[in-house]
Chains A and B, each alone.
Chain A
């Protein structure tokens, strides 16, 4: 087994996903099959191979530091599930 139910529960916590017990079982089984396939890359010798994060070599993209147009607060809040006084409202934190 590449991944256990305990791992899946931990990963679901890290990913902020509430899973039912049935989902934990199902995903453990499915992720195990997928990870076994993905684990094929362990066969390759990658010693001294540099990693690629982007296929095109663009680095350090700068632009002029100019004041531009940005969203008005009302627009930025347009899709907020809950809002008040130009703020996003979330459940009490402290």
Chain B
């Protein structure tokens, strides 16, 4: 087995035992990048030189007999939506093509402090808007399982990097499914934590009441390890929650007895591919046969989640993206006649179609005469959805569903039909509206393409979500790898 194929916990054991060095791990991962990156195109920027410097620091610490963090010397890729000081951060957009942040996001800083080796910045849909990575203004990322297919989005580069072994783990962001959906389509573990658990400081904002950073990993144990260091209160983010930091690895107990699992029928309804559905039903059967108490349930307002989301998220985006005006950073048209001409053409040239669509959608939903019918009403529907989840969690410890209604689709297949693309996130969006945690774990294949099982927990219920995910992973024993 090559080092680049291993998990965080396997590599850490070998590092501590001095069987290998951080330099060797880094060399292994970069040799893999050199071999497959031309096909996958997961990265927008590869930071090889600094990666080897970071690895050297860790090797010196180990040589000096210092205790190292479980993340020390582990090569990780960062979605290009998170600011990294001195390292170009584009958000997948032409408007930020030459943007070099002067500060680092808290989430990335938390991991750098533990000694990760940053391999680079990963490709994404522009401003995290999209479900296929085709909205990247640079190039699309290819799914490692089938290079003609999308990796999902918007964190498609981060998902593909882990699936292709071009990083041991990665970070993504999830506003409506942007971690879980690509994790499902690429056959890796991806988690969106409870809103407020991970600081959003330095995360380029899409929809501030929904955005949350989370990890892509090769297994659930690695997910728990990364989460341990990712979370924490940050005075720089006023929506950051203050809690005693749990050790999430302690939640990984091998027992499902008595755990109540609900299956919302609204997330198994029309629109879910029948083969995906039967793979997920098989996964649920495995949980039931091993001690979990499984029952169908109903959250009727989930049927309205997609509609509410496509008002709320664009509304917040239209406001957040007003900052890109060609004045303080980013692209500016070279030949503006006056200030208004500069704004209008800078934004028209700087943003791609999907970003323009969402800015206009949001501006419309917030404009005089439409505010109450669209934005005001969507916020109330959001309350109804939260109430549905609260009622469900009185009865159940977790809820399960497919992560994505289909497996990875072909590049180009949905790009001309925005609504069809939006339906990719039908099972993940309700979780963001409610601010609760959700994970996607591989649960099988359809025609050689991975399927993800989504496990949803109550607010700050990460430990239960991880416990169920860990048990499923152990019972299912999935070991498939893409053939690159």
Interfacial residues, chain A to chain B (CB-CB below 8 A): 3, 7-8, 11-12, 14-19, 23, 27, 30-31, 33-35, 37-44, 46, 49-56, 58, 61, 63, 71, 75-76, 78-82, 88, 90-93
CA distance A8 to B360 in the complex (A): 8
Say yes or no: A37-B419 contact (C-beta < 8 A), given A42-B373, A63-B235.
yes
Partner of B339, one of A11, A44, A53, A90: A90
Interface residues, chain B, with chain A CB atoms under 8 Å away: 98-100, 102-103, 194-196, 209, 235, 238-239, 241, 301, 304, 306-308, 310-311, 318, 322, 325-332, 336-345, 347-348, 351, 356-357, 359-361, 363-365, 367, 373-374, 376-384, 386, 418-419, 422, 433-436, 459
B209–A53 touching, CB < 8 Å: yes
Q: How far is the CB of B294 from chain A (nearest CB, A)?
A: 26
Closest 5 CB pairs of A and B: A55-B435, A51-B379, A79-B329, A81-B332, A18-B344
Tell me, rounded to whole Å, the shortest Cβ–Cβ distance linking A39 to chain B. 7
Give Cα A41 to B383, complex, Å.
13
Q: Known: A34-B361, A81-B331, A91-B342. Is A46-B380 also a contact (CB below 8 A)? A: yes
Q: How far is the CB of A26 from chain B (nearest CB, A)?
A: 8
Which residues from B are CB-within-8-Å of A93?
338-339
B313 CB to nearest chain A CB (Å): 11
* Whole-angstrom distance between the Cβ of B93 and the nearest chain A Cβ: 14
Q: Which of B322, B339, B377, B418 contacts A46 (CB 8 A)?
A: B377
Q: A42, A49, A56, A82: which contacts B196 (Cβ < 8 A)? A: A56
In the complex the two chains form, is A37's CB within 8 Å of B310's CB? Answer: yes
Contact across chains for A56 and B348 when beta carbons are under 8 A apart: no
Could you say which of B209, B329, B345, B419 contacts A18, with CB atoms under 8 Å apart?
B345
A-B contact pairs, 15 of them (CB 8 A): A27-B357, A27-B360, A31-B357, A37-B306, A40-B307, A41-B378, A51-B383, A52-B379, A55-B382, A55-B433, A56-B435, A58-B196, A79-B102, A81-B332, A82-B332
In the complex, which residues of chain B have a beta carbon less than 8 angstroms from the beta carbon of A46?
377, 380-381, 384
The CB with the most chain B CB atoms within 10 A, among A34, A42, A82, is that of: A34
Complex CA distance for A39 and B365, rounded to whole angstroms: 11
Most chain B CB neighbours (cut-off 10 Å) among A34, A52, A88: A52
Question: With A30-B418, A79-B99 in contact, is A17–B326 under 8 Å at CB?
Answer: no
- Tell me if B304 and A16 are in contact (CB < 8 A): no
Chain B residue numbers with a CB within 8 Å of A55 are: 195, 209, 382, 386, 433-436, 459
Find out whether the CB atom of A34 lies under 8 angstroms from the CB atom of B209.
no
A78 vs B88: C-alpha distance when bound (angstroms):
12
Interface of B is mostly: helix
Q: Which residue of A lies closest to B460 (CB)?
A: A56
A17 and B360 within 8 A (CB): yes
Residues in chain B near residue A44, CB distance under 8 A: 301, 304, 377, 381, 384
Known contacts A3-B364, A11-B367, A56-B195; decide if A91 and B379 are in contact (CB<8 Å): no
**A residues near B102, Cβ cutoff 8 Å:** 71, 75-76, 78-79
Q: Contacts of A12 on B, CB cut-off 8 Å?
A: 360
- CB neighbours (8 Å) of A19 from chain B are 348, 356
Report the bound CA distance from A81 to B194 in whole Å.
Answer: 37
In the complex, residue of chain B having the shortest beta-carbon distance to the beta carbon of A80? B328
A17 touches B344 (CB 8 A): yes
* CA–CA, A61 and B196, complex, Å: 13
| Residues B419 and A33 in contact, CB atoms below 8 Å apart | yes
Identify B422's interface contact among A34, A53, A90, CB under 8 A: A34
Residues from chain A with a CB closer than 8 A to the CB of B348 are 17-19
Q: Contact between A38 and B360 (Cβ–Cβ < 8 Å)?
A: no
In the complex the two chains form, is B361's CB within 8 Å of A52's CB?
Answer: no
Given the known inter-chain contacts A3-B364, A37-B306, please indicate yes or no for A51 contacting B359, CB distance below 8 A: no
Question: What residue of chain B has the Cβ atom nearest to residue A82's Cβ?
Answer: B332
**Counting chain B CB atoms within 10 Å of each CB, which of A7, A11, A16, A37 scores highest?**
A16
Q: A82 — which chain B residues lie within 8 A by C-beta?
A: 332
Known: A43-B304, A51-B379, A71-B102. 9 other contacts (CB 8 A): A11-B367, A17-B344, A34-B310, A34-B422, A37-B422, A52-B386, A56-B435, A88-B327, A92-B338
Closest chain-A Cβ to B44's Cβ sits at a distance in Å of 17
Report the bound CA distance from A12 to B328 in whole Å.
Answer: 22
Cβ–Cβ contact A56 & B239, under 8 A: yes
| A17 in contact with B356 (CB, 8 Å) | yes
Partner of A49, one of B103, B311, B383: B383
Which residues of chain A have C-beta atoms less than 8 A from B103's C-beta? Answer: 71
Selected from A18, A38, A52, the residue in CB contact (under 8 A) with B307 is: A38
Q: A17-B344, A44-B304 are in contact. Are A54 and B383 (CB under 8 A)?
A: no
Q: Which residues of A sit under 8 angstroms from B326, Cβ to Cβ? A: 81
